[in-house]
């Protein structure tokens, strides 16, 4: 789907002056906001941004200071798995 966003010319000049592909920056900002609000899953975010691997997506999230939720239950599950593997 193509989406056209109308913004004033002076604002467009200002945003373009920051450098980089403005269309890509808008896509990243929208997708990241949708992910943080829970409307996109991690696989959907990866697809939307065209990342080939989860590692690339993790790097993107880290760059934007978005941390994966990890709680004590997650830690307990991982520890139990490691114990079962004798690691």
Is residue 22 a part of any domain in this protein? yes
Q: Enter the pTM of the model.
A: 0.75
Is residue 4 a part of any domain in this protein? no
Is residue 57 a part of any domain in this protein? yes
Instruction: Give the integer Cα–Cα distance in Å for 51 and 58.
Output: 10
Residue whose C-alpha is closest to residue 26's, from 10, 12, 44: 12
In terms of residue numbers, what domain contains 80? 9-84
Tokens 């997708």 — which residue?
31
pLDDT digits (tens, 9 = 90+) for 17-67: 988 899 999 999 999 999 999 999 999 999 999 999 999 999 999 999 998
Instruction: Give the integer Cα–Cα distance in Å for 17 and 15.
Output: 5
Query: How many domains does the chain contain in total?
Result: 1
Instruction: Give the integer Cα–Cα distance in Å for 57 and 39.
Output: 17
Torsion, CA 34, CA 36, CA 41, CA 47, rounded to 10? 60
């Amino acid at each position: 789907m193509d989406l056209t966003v109308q913004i004033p010319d002076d604002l467009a000049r200002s945003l373009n002056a920051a450098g980089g592909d403005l269309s890509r920056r808008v896509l990243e900002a929208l997708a990241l906001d949708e992910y943080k609000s829970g409307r996109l899953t991690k696989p959907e975010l990866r697809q939307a941004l065209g990342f080939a691997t989860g590692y690339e997506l993790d790097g993107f999230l880290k760059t934007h200071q978005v941390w994966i939720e990890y709680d004590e239950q997650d830690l307990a599950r991982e520890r139990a798995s490691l114990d079962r593997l004798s690691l």
